[in-house]
A and B are shown apart, each in its own frame.
Chain A
Amino acid sequence: MPLISQDDAETLRTIFDERMQDDVTITYFTQRESPLFIPGATECQTCGQTRELLQEVADLSEKISLDVKDFVADSADAEEMGIERIPAFVLQGHTQGAVRFFGIPAGYEFATLVEDLVDVSTGATDLSTKTRDALGEIDEDIHIQVFVTPT
């Protein structure tokens, strides 16, 4: 049973068709889903569902592709992207810095994901000139974390 309703899928398809410009890759870090119980291994409760949701999103546009990586097997990639917990995904496209999501993108986070997919595909933002100028002056790392819960 799909996680995104047919109506919502149609709406999203339209949004992506009208607003997306260049390709975006969602690089998704998860754990290998296995029916086996491995003693001592931490189970990622939402990894499977997150993967399903991201696949459904990717299926809504030819410009969105999903690249699934295993947190353990692809640990070098995880380390390069600074991923220390899963589920986590990174949007790759027209972005100079990193746009990352942690946890299943439900509720408000899903709307943010949709907007970010569009923005990363165009590289355009609504930031004011003042903000752009201020960011241009900063040459140290800035880590912004926005904590949300599904609503």
Chain B
Amino acid sequence: MAIESPHVTADVVEASEFPDLAQRYRLYAVPKTVVNDKVQVEGGMREPQLLQLVLAAVGGDEQSES
């Protein structure tokens, strides 16, 4: 998505090296995807699901599911 859009920053974060982030985002299970610090999903995801997450984030809705 970052390749496609200038508005997207896509980070891959190796959680065990940054324990403060693990705590902040409550990383009990990985992978975990967080968008705009607003919405998050645990587990792997496919493109349609990620798109939904992104749309939820910019829509201003609070959403989290595992």
Given the known inter-chain contacts A142-B1, A146-B31, A147-B31, please indicate yes or no for A134 contacting B10, CB distance below 8 A: no
Chain B interface residues toward A at CB < 8 A:
1-18, 21-22, 25, 27, 30-37, 47-48, 50-51, 54-55, 57-58
Decide: B12 and A97 in contact? CB cutoff 8 A: no
Q: State A126–B3 Cα separation when bound (angstroms).
A: 11
Q: State A88–B34 Cα separation when bound (angstroms).
A: 18
Q: State A130–B31 Cα separation when bound (angstroms).
A: 25
Interface residues on A, range: 35 or more
Given the known inter-chain contacts A142-B58, A147-B31, A150-B16, please indicate yes or no for A100 contacting B9, CB distance below 8 A: yes
Query: Which secondary structure characterizes the binding site on chain B?
Result: mixed
Q: A97-B3, A100-B9 are in contact. List 9 more A-B contacts (CB 8 A).
A: A98-B8, A99-B2, A104-B14, A112-B12, A125-B1, A131-B51, A142-B54, A144-B1, A147-B34
